[in-house]
């Protein structure tokens, strides 16, 4: 069994989907005891927004649990642009397992996310010139990978090319601009070093043929819950509107206050339910002007989830699509979907999970900055 430690749900699911692609039975666990049948066990520590000390403790507990479950090897999934408590979590896992160091390769070259000479670019733009510069909690203000993570407390930090190899100990951030670079780094995996980084590095480590088969589209009512404020989301909502999909947004007063009455939530939820009964697809998104108050902005995902929780059972929704990591994990926890089976990969980072409750709802999630695949975004009334 392979163990994965991720700091959020979308990351855990993304790596789970890579495993599925390579023929592994993958399970994502948010809470409670994992099953013993999985080939790939992905633990979500929900630690990206934690204080560094708390994040390190959660990573340590996850590493010990996976070692108790006799995982053959562990992978630390990090955010591809190094948001969160990357260094504290990696150092905690290295210490807990008594390792020499960690090889961190976060780049995803197929998505245009590359590191060359220690400088991060996204589709040809420096990282700090992209939308990631405006992340409300982890703004990316530099292209230098050294400046994107906290200085390690106990290990030396290196930025290297694959041909330079690994030092005796430390944390190595690997340059990667192509699949060839990922394969070179993957060839260096050994039992004394923790492998860490993005989904494409994990795929390179598995080193198995990749299946290009896509699952058949699910039948039944679909609800999109879009908690992201990226241009990708705005473009998706505009396209759905043009296709005739019913689109709903949060009350305008939430741009300045976090207080909305239960009656307002119920009214909005009932409108979405009615739309689903009539057209079988609805989109629920923030739909507000830019919100600069961080506390209010982070609360918007919870407001969306509150409405979605009302809609999913009443609308007899068969397939829920959640956009944005905070939205996805909040919805999973609110619906008590604590154990999720990875069933399909619709595209890089876009993962379909099945719930273990009586509804057997399909739950597809993706990061806010990733576009929905064409087959998912396209729609026509049935």
Rg (CA), the chain: 20
Half-sphere exposure of 119 (CA within 13 A, CB side): 9
CB-count exposure of residue 71 (10 Å: 0-12, 13-18, 19+): middle
pTM of the model: 0.77
Closest CA to 310 of 352, 363, 271, 339: 271
Q: What is the CATH number of the domain that holds 165?
A: 3.40.50.10840
| Residue 127 within any structural domain of the chain | yes
Q: Domain range for residue 186?
A: 2-206
Q: Are 220 and 280 in contact (CB under 8 A)?
A: yes
On whether both 290 and 184 belong to a single domain, the answer is: no
Residues 120 and 153 both lie in one domain = yes
Judge whether 382 lies within some domain: no
Specify the number of domains making up the chain. Answer: 2
Phi, psi dihedrals of residue 180, rounded to the nearest 5°: -60, -40
**Domain check: are 158 and 273 in the same one?**
no
- Check pLDDT > 60 for residue 6: yes
**In the predicted model, what is the mean pLDDT of residues 112-128?**
96
Across the range 361-365, mean pLDDT stands at 91
Beta bridge partners of 171: 102, 157
pLDDT for 214 equals 43
Choose the final residue of a domain: 206, 241, 256. Answer: 206
Transcribe 271-293 into DSSP letters: HHHHHHHHHSEEEEE---S----
Name the least confident of 6-15, 101-110, 182-191, 337-346: 337-346
Cβ neighbours for 219, distance < 8 A, ≥ 6 positions apart: 318
308 Rama class: left (phi>0) / alpha (psi -120 to 50) / beta: alpha
Average pLDDT over residues 234-254: 86
Is residue 360 included in any domain, yes or no?
A: yes
Strand order in the sheet with 125-126: 113-116, 119-122, 125-126
Residues 161 and 237 in one domain: no
């Amino acid at each position: 069994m392979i163990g994965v430690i991720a700091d959020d749900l979308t990351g855990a699911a993304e790596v789970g989907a890579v495993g599925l692609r390579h023929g592994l039975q993958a399970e994502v666990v948010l809470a409670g005891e994992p099953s013993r049948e999985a080939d790939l066990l992905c633990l979500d520590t929900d630690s990206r927004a934690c204080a560094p000390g708390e994040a390190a403790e959660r990573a340590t507990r996850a590493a010990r649990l996976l070692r108790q479950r006799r995982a053959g090897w562990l992978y630390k999934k990090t955010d591809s642009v190094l948001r969160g408590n990357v260094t504290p979590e990696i150092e905690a896992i290295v210490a807990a397992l008594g390792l020499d160091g960690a090889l961190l390769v976060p780049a995803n070259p197929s998505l245009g996310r590359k590191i060359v000479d220690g400088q991060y670019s996204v589709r040809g733009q420096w990282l700090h010139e992209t939308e990631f510069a405006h992340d409300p909690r982890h703004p990316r203000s530099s292209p230098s990978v050294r400046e994107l993570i906290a200085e390690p407390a106990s290990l030396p930090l290196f930025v290297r090319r694959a041909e330079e190899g690994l030092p005796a100990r430390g944390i190595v951030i690997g340059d990667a601009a192509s699949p060839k670079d990922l394969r070179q780094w993957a060839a260096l995996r050994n039992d004394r070093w923790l492998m860490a980084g993005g989904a494409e590095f994990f795929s390179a480590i598995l080193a198995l043929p990749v299946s290009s088969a896509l699952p058949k589209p699910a039948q039944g009512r679909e609800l999109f819950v879009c908690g992201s404020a990226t241009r990708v989301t705005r473009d998706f909502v505009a396209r759905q509107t043009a296709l005739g999909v019913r689109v709903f947004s949060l009350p305008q007063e939430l741009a300045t206050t976090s207080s909305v009455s239960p009656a307002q939530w119920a009214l909005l939820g009932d409108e979405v339910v009615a739309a689903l009964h009539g057209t079988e697809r609805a989109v629920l998104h923030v739909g507000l002007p830019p919100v600069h108050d961080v506390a209010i902005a982070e609360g918007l995902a919870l407001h969306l989830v509150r409405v979605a929780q009302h809609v999913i059972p009443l609308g007899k929704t068969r397939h829920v699509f959640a956009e944005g990591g905070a939205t996805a994990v909040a919805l999973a926890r609110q619906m008590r979907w604590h154990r999720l089976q990875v069933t399909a990969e619709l595209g890089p980072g876009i993962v379909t999970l099945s719930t273990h409750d009586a509804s057997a709802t399909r739950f597809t999630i993706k990061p806010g900055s990733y576009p929905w695949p064409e087959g998912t975004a396209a729609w026509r009334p049935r």
